[in-house]
Amino acid sequence: MPTAPSPSPRPERAVIGFFLYVTSIFTFAIYVLWAYLPNDWFEKIGITYYPHKYWSIAIAVLVLTLLIGVIVGNYLLNNLSIPPLDSISLIHDRHTRKPQDLISSETDAIPPVSDLDLSFVNQVLYSSHTK
């Protein structure tokens, strides 16, 4: 069985996380300075090539709209990927394990883990179990 990708912490992930944390604080400080300081102060220091101040508002609006869009889009994407009520993937799909009847029941060994038949489960849960 192939290993699924797991979200557990690893050293590379810690380094990347720390780098992103420092970079995001630094970028936010630069953005606030650029947005609030008047243009003459930049001229006096010597910085003459920087983006137009219009973009300070535009970037802020873009980030907020992206946030709302991601939340709404995630909800809608989830709604699109649920199977309809008559799809067979609600009964069995590519991950279900059918019981292998090749192994005979004479040995005392524990049979391998497999999924129970759904009609059997229904009979046990919801009606008088007749088997």
- Chain centroid to CA 130: 44
DSSP state of 86: T
Check residue 94 for interaction with other proteins (CB under 8 A).
no
Nearer to other proteins, 22 or 72 (CB): 72
Packed helices 54-81 and 11-36: angle between N→C axes, nearest 10 degrees: 140
Counting contacts by CB under 8 A, is residue 100 touching other proteins?
no
User: Is 105 among the residues that bind other proteins (CB under 8 A)?
Assistant: no
Question: Which residue's entry shows tokens 């229904």?
Answer: 122
Which residues are within 8 A (CB) of 90 and not within 5 positions of it... i.e. 6 or more apart? Answer: 83
Q: Is 85 in the site for other proteins (CB under 8 A)?
A: yes
Indicate which single residue of 39, 87, 96, 114 sits in contact with other proteins (rule: CB under 8 A).
87
Answer yes or no whether residue 79 interacts with other proteins by CB under 8 A: yes
Of the pair 85, 109, the CB lying nearest other proteins is at: 85
Answer yes or no: are the C-beta atoms of 129 and 123 closer than 8 Å. Answer: yes
The binding site for other proteins (CB under 8 A) comprises 78-79, 82-88, 90-91, 118-119, 122-123, 125-128
